[in-house]
Amino acid sequence: MPTTETTLSWPKATEEFAEPILPHAELQDFCAFHFDRRKLYLQPFKDGHTSPLYLFDQAILRERAQRFQATFKAVLPALSTYYAVKSNNHPEVARTLIEEGLGLDVSSGIELTLALDLDCKEIIFSGPGKTDQELALAVAHAERTTILLDSFGELERLEKIAGAEKKELRVGVRLTTEGNPLWRKFGIALNRLPEFWEKAQACKHINLQGLQYHSSWNLTPDRQLGFIATLGELLAKMPATFLENLYFIDLGGGFWPEPGEWLQAQATRVGTIGKAFGHEIKDPLKHYRLPALPLANFAQKLGQALTRHIFPKCCCRVCFEPGRWLCHDAMHLLITVVDKKADDLAITDAGTNTIGWERFESDYFPVLNLSRPELTEHSCDILGSLCTPHDIWGYSYWGETLQEGDTLMIPSQGAYTYSLRQNFIKAPAPVVVLAKQPATSSAHKTCTVNTQPNQGR
Ligand SMILES: Cc1ncc(COP(=O)(O)O)c(C=O)c1O
């Protein structure tokens, strides 16, 4: 029970930390868009597929890939985009993006093998703790793989492996500026770049020609802008040979999709504070949204910052590694109500092993009753069939009164769900490709403004 003191403090906390409501009209439009396409979504069942399943909307993925590249090309003289495979590792997703002219950003031997099997011609291999076996695989495919080194130790190990194979490797190094101690594990501190350059020059098989920086969950470009300004100061002190050799700066991924981050009431700051004060907040029909800036806004601001801080020192190519922004809206989940235990309690045929984490305890996505569409939302616990009470799809659904056998859709489950799926109690859901369309463009061209990579040193 809350004490008198906590009860008094509580209202003040709610005022100070209240987060924006997700506008109802916008949410309704989102649901209406999907209800209008319900026949398309239900077609796989007519074709013999069974619930649960992931629907892969290839046309949406293509549209996102084209928009991402067009938006940044409008402001950057030379651009390369690499899809972060970890965000959704289904081969058809990666294949579609290769067709759209993207390279692949891989973070393990498994992902590298996937990229090689898909005949991807431009691969970057990033991530901490690459094993010797993983480095050796990258060395074996050096003509299409650029390794983004994560440490001094990795530099030494790669030099040995490349030396044994008598191969020269194109590499970059990941830089970290974060004050947050959790991010120490990534890359090297920015101020150690001069030392890294010196060591790399002594490695006969290493051609250091790029820098990488990645930050996650960017609702605004502030973190990336901070990095660019700090990097600009450092580049001013770097030797001319380094700048001449610098072919690319990779600003990572982390772009949040434009609808913003949708939250359940209990996952807002007020909800979290409330829980700490002993007030469980559960408000199934109230949804919140942390707004995200449109991609064009990121592009404009990053373009300006690069023009101001970086391009006067070196005219290099700019690379990005988007994952979530590209694939978020490109997969939806279809599940079925198996057991309606009460008007406000339904159990479905799929558990959250399908997505690998307890996403919907914090994130809000409308659960759409495709079998009985209606633009009204009802309070109801929609739960999975695993042996854990944390197996939750949502606390409400959109549609007419739910019945056993109804097909429910959870839209926009393309990012960090399919790749995290688990073989736990229930089998992971298969993927059905919703619409296969021919590639409409191959927008990824080499920029003529930029210098070519310095292969020979
Ligand atoms: C190095 C790196 N690049 C790119 C990404 C993709 O990020 P996002 O999916 O948020 O765009 C990640 C995600 O963790 C990452 O670690």
How does pLDDT run across 219-238, given as a tens digit for each residue? 999 999 999 999 999 999 99
User: Which ligand 1 atom is nearest residue 212's CA?
Assistant: 1
Atom of ligand 1 nearest to the CA of 324: 9
Q: Residue 416: CB within 6 Å of ligand 1?
A: no
Whole-number pLDDT of residue 327:
98
**Ligand 1 atom at minimal distance to the Cα of residue 218:** 10
Q: Which atom of ligand 1 is nearest to the CA of 216?
A: 10
Give the C-alpha separation, 187 to 33, whole Å: 42
Cβ atoms of 84 and 253 within 8 Å: the answer is: yes
CA of 80 to the centre of ligand 1 (A): 15
For residue 224 and ligand 1, the question of a CB distance below 6 A is answered with no
Probe residue for ligand 1, chosen from 61, 68, 87 as the CB with the greatest number of ligand atoms within 8 Å: 87
Residues of the chain with pLDDT under 70: 1-15, 178, 435-457
Report DSSP state, residue 387. Answer: S
Please tell me the distance from the alpha carbon of residue 317 to that of residue 123, in angstroms, as a whole number. 15
Nearest residue (by CA) to ligand 1, atom 1, is: 214
Residue 87 CA: nearest ligand 1 atom is: 9
State the distance from the centre of ligand 1 to the C-alpha of 126, rounded, in angstroms. Answer: 10
List pLDDT tens digits, range 190-216. 999 999 999 999 999 999 999 999 999
pTM attached to this predicted model: 0.92
SS3 209: strand
Nearest-CA residue for ligand 1 atom 10 is 254
Q: Could you give the domains of the chain?
A: 21-54+329-433 (2.40.37.10), 59-326 (3.20.20.10)
Ligand 1 atom at shortest distance from the alpha carbon of 107: 1
DSSP string, 36-92: HTHHHHHHHHHTT--SSEEEE-HHHHHHHHHHHHHHHHTT-SSEEEEEEGGG---HH
The whole-number pLDDT of residue 278 equals 84
Dump the DSSP string for 336-352.
Answer: EEEEEEETTEEEES--G
Half-sphere exposure for 259 (CA within 13 Å, toward CB): 19
Tokens of 276: 């700490």
Pocket test for ligand 1, best of 124, 182, 214 (most atoms within 8 A of CB): 214
Contact 98, 72 (CB under 8 A): no
Integer-rounded Cα Rg, in Å, for the chain is 24
Whether 393 is in the pocket of ligand 1, judged by its Cβ within 6 Å, is no
Instruction: Tell me the CA–centroid distance for residue 266 and ligand 1, in Å.
Output: 26
> Quick one: residue 211, left, alpha or beta (phi over 0 = left, psi -120 to 50 = alpha)?
beta
Residue nearest to atom 12 of ligand 1 (CA): 253
User: How far apart, in whole angstroms, are the C-alpha atoms of residue 122 and residue 154?
Assistant: 21
Omega within 30 of 0 (cis) for the link into 181: no
